[in-house]
C-alpha cells in the first residue's frame, strides 16, 4: 500500500512538473471584477502588458463588473484550475466579500489559490469643490447641520463603501450613500457634483485632486502621502480605526497545480522589478508588493478578520439586488 501511494505521489509530481513546463500554451484570461478605468483595472493593464511578453502568451483582460465583484469571483471560482483563468482580486474581493455575504454559491476563500501580490493602494476622502468644507471636522459639522443634504457614493460592499459608512458612523451625520457598479462611474458623478462625497483609490484620485476637480480632506495610511503633504491621515483628522491599506493581487481557482502557480508568481515578480512597472506604479502612487503565494494567503486571512469586525462596527447596508 505504501509503495502504491509513493508511486502515485511521484506520478502526480511528474504531471505537475510537465504542466508547468508546457504552461502557458494558449492565451490567459484575467478577470477584473470592476469596470474599465477603475483602480483594479488600471493595475491589471499596467502589469499584464509585460507579463504577456514574459510568459510568451497574450493576456486578455475581461471586465466583469456588478454585484460588488461577486459575478467575477463566481466565474473564476468555477473555472478550470489550469492557470488560464485568473482573478485580479485582493482586499475588496477576497477579504471583504466573505465578511459580508454568507449565502454565496461559491467560497470566496476556499475556492481560490493566492498566486502573487501586485501592489498596495490607499484610499482618500474627497469632496466636490462646491461643498464648503476643508477638513474632516468641518465636513462632519456641516453634514450634521444639513441632514440628508450630502450624498456619498461608490461601489457596493468594497473598501471605499466601508470608508464612507465609517465616516457616517463616526461623524454621527445623516449622509445618504448612493450605490454604483464600480469606482469609475462614481468618480464621474463625483467630479460632476452629482454626489458630494467620494472615496476610491489613490491611483485614480490623485490626478483629480491635483487638477482641483476634487478636494481631499483625509487619506488612508499610516503616514501622509508624499504627493499631498498638507492632507492629514484619517487618524490625524480624528477618524482613527480604519485599515491602512488595500491589497491587489492575482488569484487562481483552487486546485490549480502548485508548479503553475509558482511559474506565474516568478513571472509577476520579474514584472514588478521592471523599470516600466516601477515607473507606472510611481505615477499612480502605488507601492509594489512582492510576496510568495503563502505570504499573500496569510495577508488575506488577517484582512478577513479586520474587515469582518469593521462590518459589524459600521452596520454596513447592502443595496437589494
Average pLDDT, the chain: 90
For residue 259, give every residue at least 6 positions away whose Cβ sits within 8 Å of its Cβ, in sequence order, or none: 16, 17, 19, 20
For residue 320, pLDDT over 80 is answered with no
Cα–Cα distance for residue pair 203/301, rounded to 1 Å: 25
Give 119's strand partners. Answer: 248, 288
Percent of the chain with pLDDT over 90: 73
Inform me whether the pLDDT recorded for 319 exceeds 80: no
User: What distance lies between CA 158 and its chain's CA centroid?
Assistant: 8
The neighbour count for residue 119, using CB atoms within 10 Å, is 26
pLDDT digits (tens, 9 = 90+) for 78-119: 999 999 999 999 998 899 988 888 788 899 889 999 999 999
The average pLDDT across 251-257 equals 98
User: Does residue 254 have a pLDDT over 50?
Assistant: yes
The whole-number average pLDDT for the span 57-64 is 96
Structural contact between residues 203 and 221, judged by C-beta atoms closer than 8 angstroms: no
Q: Could you give the CA distance from residue 180 to residue 155 in angstroms, rounded to a whole number?
A: 5
C-alpha of 136 from chain center: 24
Give the confidence band of 249 by pLDDT, cuts at 50, 70, 90.
Answer: very high
Write down the pLDDT at residue 53.
94
Q: How many CB atoms lie within 10 A of CB 311?
A: 17
For residues 310 and 203, the model is more confident at 310
Q: Which domains does the chain have, with CATH numbers?
A: 2-120+246-314 (3.40.190.150), 123-219 (3.40.190.10)
Distance of CA 261 to the CA centre of its chain: 20
Instruction: Specify the DSSP class assigned to residue 108.
Output: T
Closest by alpha carbon to 283, among 228, 207, 221?
207
Decide: 125 and 167 in contact? Cβ < 8 Å: yes
Task: Strand 28-32: give its sheet, edge to edge.
Answer: 59-63, 28-32, 85-90, 246-253, 112-121, 287-288
Check residue 74 and give its pLDDT: 95
User: Which triple of cell numbers denotes residue 142?
Assistant: 456641516
- Label residue 26 exposed, middle or buried (CB < 10 Å: 0-12, 13-18, 19+): exposed
Residue 114: burial class (beta carbons within 10 Å; 0-12, 13-18, 19+): buried
Does the pTM of the predicted model rise above 0.85? no
Query: In this structure, what C-alpha cell is assigned to residue 4?
Result: 502504491
Q: How far apart are CA 293 and CA 143, in angstroms?
A: 44
Amino acid at each position: 500500500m505504501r509503495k502504491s501511494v509513493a508511486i502515485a505521489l511521484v506520478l502526480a509530481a511528474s504531471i505537475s512538473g510537465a504542466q508547468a513546463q508546457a504552461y502557458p500554451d494558449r492565451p490567459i484570461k484575467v478577470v477584473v471584477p470592476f469596470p474599465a478605468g477603475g483602480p483594479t483595472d488600471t493595475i491589471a493593464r499596467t502589469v499584464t502588458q509585460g507579463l504577456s511578453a514574459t510568459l510568451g502568451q497574450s493576456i486578455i483582460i475581461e471586465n466583469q463588473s456588478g454585484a460588488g465583484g461577486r459575478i467575477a469571483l463566481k466565474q473564476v471560482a468555477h473555472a478550470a484550475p489550469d492557470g488560464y483563468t485568473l482573478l485580479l482580486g485582493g482586499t475588496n474581493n477576497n477579504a471583504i466579500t466573505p465578511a459580508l455575504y454568507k449565502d454565496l454559491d461559491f467560497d470566496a476563500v476556499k475556492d481560490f489559490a493566492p498566486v502573487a501580490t501586485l501592489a498596495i493602494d490607499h484610499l482618500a476622502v474627497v469632496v466636490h469643490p462646491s461643498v464648503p468644507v476643508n477638513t474632516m471636522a468641518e465636513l462632519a459639522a456641516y453634514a450634521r447641520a444639513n441632514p440628508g443634504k450630502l450624498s456619498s457614493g461608490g461601489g457596493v460592499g468594497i473598501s471605499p463603501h466601508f470608508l464612507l459608512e465609517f465616516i457616517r458612523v463616526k461623524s454621527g451625520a445623516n449622509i445618504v450613500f448612493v450605490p454604483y457598479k464600480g469606482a469609475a462611474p462614481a468618480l464621474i458623478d463625483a467630479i460632476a457634483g452629482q454626489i458630494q462625497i467620494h472615496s476610491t483609490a489613490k491611483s485614480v484620485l490623485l490626478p483629480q485632486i491635483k487638477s482641483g476637480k476634487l478636494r481631499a480632506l483625509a487619506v488612508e495610511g499610516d503616514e501622509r502621502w508624499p504627493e499631498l503633504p498638507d492632507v492629514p491621515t484619517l487618524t490625524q483628522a480624528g477618524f482613527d480605526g480604519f485599515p491602512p491599506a488595500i491589497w491587489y493581487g492575482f488569484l487562481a481557482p483552487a486546485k490549480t497545480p502548485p508548479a503553475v502557480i509558482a511559474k506565474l508568481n516568478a513571472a509577476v515578480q520579474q514584472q514588478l522589478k521592471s523599470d516600466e512597472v516601477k515607473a507606472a506604479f510611481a505615477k499612480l502612487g502605488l507601492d509594489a508588493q512582492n510576496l510568495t503565494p503563502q505570504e499573500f494567503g496569510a495577508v488575506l486571512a488577517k484582512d478577513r478578520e479586520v474587515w469582518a469586525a469593521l462590518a459589524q462596527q459600521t452596520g454596513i447596508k447592502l443595496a437589494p439586488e
